[in-house]
Amino acid sequence: MARVVVEVMPKAEILDPQGQAVAKALPRLGFNGVTDVRQGKRFELEVDGSVDDAQLEQIAEALLANTVIEDWTVRRIEA
């Protein structure tokens, strides 16, 4: 079995209301010095040997990311 991490983040030019909400809440909680926050998703997949990199990319494109507004990366963390 292999473990794969897929990270999905909003594209840089896309408004990130969740990230902005966190950024605005931080000073109210007494945390200063954080100038920007972006929030995305992180998936950990357990895959067997039949799943190759091309399929992982298709999975990211088809199901895990909305490619109109999000970028994604795929990396294997354990063979």
* 13 lies in the site for a copy of itself, by CB under 8 A: no
C-alpha 48 chain-centroid distance = 22
Q: Does 50 bind a copy of itself (CB under 8 A)?
A: yes
Establish if 54 lies at the interface with a copy of itself (CB under 8 A): no
Indicate whether 68 belongs to the interface with a copy of itself (CB under 8 A): no
**In this structure, what token pair is assigned to residue 24?**
């605005």
- Interface pick for a copy of itself out of 54, 63, 77, 79 (rule CB under 8 A): 63
CB-based burial label for 23 (10 Å; 0-12, 13-18, 19+): middle
C-alpha span between 16 and 39 (Å, rounded): 7
Q: Interface residues with a copy of itself (CB under 8 A)?
A: 1, 7-9, 19, 22, 25-26, 29, 31-51, 55, 58-59, 62-64
